[in-house]
């Protein structure tokens, strides 16, 4: 039976890249599924509707009634929720709608949440040290509790999905890099932000702490979502619900080495005064310069975290990029940021508005 998959945030960097990959598939089972994609604006809807094979839904995911109507009318069985890691209401609306769909069809429904690895570092409020994605993360996140909207959303997803009889999965996203293949936004967050800020200040700045956050190339991340979706479609048993954590990274991003390479690239293009890297005088100044929330800037920019990915490899993930390849490609990342950085991202709106 054909199953219907909904990708949220399909005009975004990650959602758009997953959509492009799914539509290019020539083999079962993804090829045999109907693909739906949500976007927020009319302009995005018009642009994505020109692509063959996708059913575009223009919806604000915070509108509960519209989300329910879209999921039920289009008989959605699987939601890959990429639009937001931190807006709790969006995840709740989608899971409640999948619960209704399950009752109406009598068939199992699935929800994949996209979370954030930085949450599992000291700076992200994780006091337990090393963490594997096979550990009891849900219980520990509940113990930590607190106002962090990503953590609140993770907890809600697991609990609400269980209550609604929806099978849930949680993919923790690291620093994602590489040019996306989506129709709308093709850029990630970190490197374009550093490039933009450095040009504005004619100087590259780093933080006083050398973080080595988890990292993944967009093509490898897309292949993980494709693998998860394939296994869901084939009804293969996999860790889900309270055990359903998948750390989506395979190497690290050495922060100071990255900033050195950005400085070299920008200086070679005459965009900064020299190729040196200075240290931000304060975190407050850095947050303002980069339009990032001061409350979370350490977690976002200087955290490392002792995370060990297990589950993604267990289901057969085979990422191709390495730390060496990533560092060798920073100049191309800088060029992509210069060529493509024209779409204002709403990624951190939830965090920035929570801070006000």
Contact residues: ligand NAP, CB under 6 A:
9, 11-15, 38, 40-41, 60-62, 82-85, 90, 114, 116, 173, 175-176, 185, 188-189, 345-347
Cβ proximity to ligand NAP, 124 vs 272, nearer residue: 124
Whole-number minimum distance, CB 270 to ligand NAP, in Å? 28
CA 8 to chain centre: 11
Tell me which residue of 160, 159, 85, 165 sits closest to 118, measured CA to CA.
85
Residue-wise burial string across 62-98, b where 16 or more C-beta atoms lie within 10 A, e elsewhere: eeeebbbebbeeeebbbbbbbbbbbbbbbbbbbbbbb
Nearer to ligand NAP, 272 or 321 (CB): 321
Task: Report the candidate in 225, 22, 190 with the shortest Cα–Cα distance to residue 118.
Answer: 190
**Minimum distance from residue 32 beta carbon to ligand NAP (Å):** 26
Q: Which is nearer to ligand NAP, 272 or 311 (CB)?
A: 311
**Residue 240 CB, nearest approach to ligand NAP (Å):** 20
Closest contact distance (angstroms) between CB of 296 and ligand NAP is: 11
Q: Minimum CB separation from ligand NAP for residue 186, in Å?
A: 9
Instruction: Centre a 10 Å sphere on the Cβ of residue 39 and count the other Cβ atoms it contains.
Output: 27
Least distance between ligand NAP and beta carbon 49 (Å)? 15
Nearer of residues 118 and 272 to ligand NAP, judged by Cβ: 118
Q: Which stretches of 269-329 are DSSP H helices?
A: 283-290, 297-301, 311-314, 323-328
Q: How far is the CB of 352 from ligand NAP (least distance, A)?
A: 12
User: Cα dihedral sign for 332, 335, 340, 343?
Assistant: positive
Which residue is nearest to ligand NAP, using beta carbons?
Answer: 12
In whole angstroms, the minimum distance from the beta carbon of 62 to ligand NAP comes to 5
Let me know: does 140 contact 182? Beta carbons within 8 Å.
no
- Cα–Cα distances in angstroms (integers) from residue 336 to residues 44, 299, 323, 330, in the given order: 21, 25, 19, 10
- Nearer of residues 83 and 137 to ligand NAP, judged by Cβ: 83
CB 53 within 8 A of CB 35: yes
From start to end of 53-94, where are the E strands? Answer: 54-58, 78-81
Say how many residues make up the chain.
Answer: 356
Nearer to ligand NAP, 272 or 297 (CB): 297
* Cα distance between residue 166 and residue 35, in whole Å: 19
Nearest distance, CB of residue 245 and ligand NAP, angstroms: 15
Question: Tokens for 16?
Answer: 């758009």
> Closest CB to ligand NAP among 216 and 272?
216
Three-state DSSP state, 299: helix
């Amino acid at each position: 039976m054909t199953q219907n998959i909904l990708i949220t945030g399909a005009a975004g960097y990650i959602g758009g890249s997953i959509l492009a990959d799914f539509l290019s598939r020539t083999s079962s089972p993804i090829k045999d599924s109907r693909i739906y994609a949500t976007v927020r604006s009319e302009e995005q809807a018009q642009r994505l509707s020109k692509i063959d094979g996708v059913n575009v839904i223009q919806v604000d995911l915070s509108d509960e009634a519209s989300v329910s109507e879209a999921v039920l009318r289009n008989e959605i069985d699987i939601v890959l929720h990429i639009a937001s890691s931190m807006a709790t209401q969006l995840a709740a609306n989608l899971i409640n709608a999948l619960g209704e769909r399950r009752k109406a069809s009598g068939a199992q429904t699935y929800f994949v949440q996209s979370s954030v690895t930085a949450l599992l570092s000291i700076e992200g409020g994780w006091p337990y040290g090393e963490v594997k994605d096979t550990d009891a993360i849900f219980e520990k996140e509940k113990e930590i509790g607190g106002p962090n909207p990503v953590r609140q959303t993770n907890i809600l997803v697991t609990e609400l999905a269980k209550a609604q009889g929806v099978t849930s999965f949680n993919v923790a996203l690291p620093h994602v890099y590489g040019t996306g293949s989506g129709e709308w936004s093709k850029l990630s967050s970190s490197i374009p932000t550093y490039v933009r800020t450095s040009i504005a200040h004619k100087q590259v700045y780093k933080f006083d702490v050398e973080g080595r956050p988890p990292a993944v190339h967009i093509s490898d991340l897309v292949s993980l979502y494709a693998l998860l979706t394939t296994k869901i479609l084939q009804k293969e048993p996999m860790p889900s619900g309270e055990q359903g954590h998948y750390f989506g990274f395979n190497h690290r991003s050495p922060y100071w080495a990255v900033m050195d390479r950005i400085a070299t690239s920008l200086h070679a293009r005459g965009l900064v005064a020299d190729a040196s890297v200075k240290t931000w005088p304060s975190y407050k100044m850095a947050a303002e310069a980069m339009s990032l929330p001061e409350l979370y800037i350490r977690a976002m920019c200087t955290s490392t975290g002792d995370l060990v990915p297990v589950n993604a490899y267990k289901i057969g993930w085979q990422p191709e990029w390495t730390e060496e390849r990533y560092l060798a490609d920073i100049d191309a990342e800088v060029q992509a940021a210069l060529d493509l950085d024209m779409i204002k991202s709403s990624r951190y709106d939830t965090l920035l508005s929570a801070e006000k």
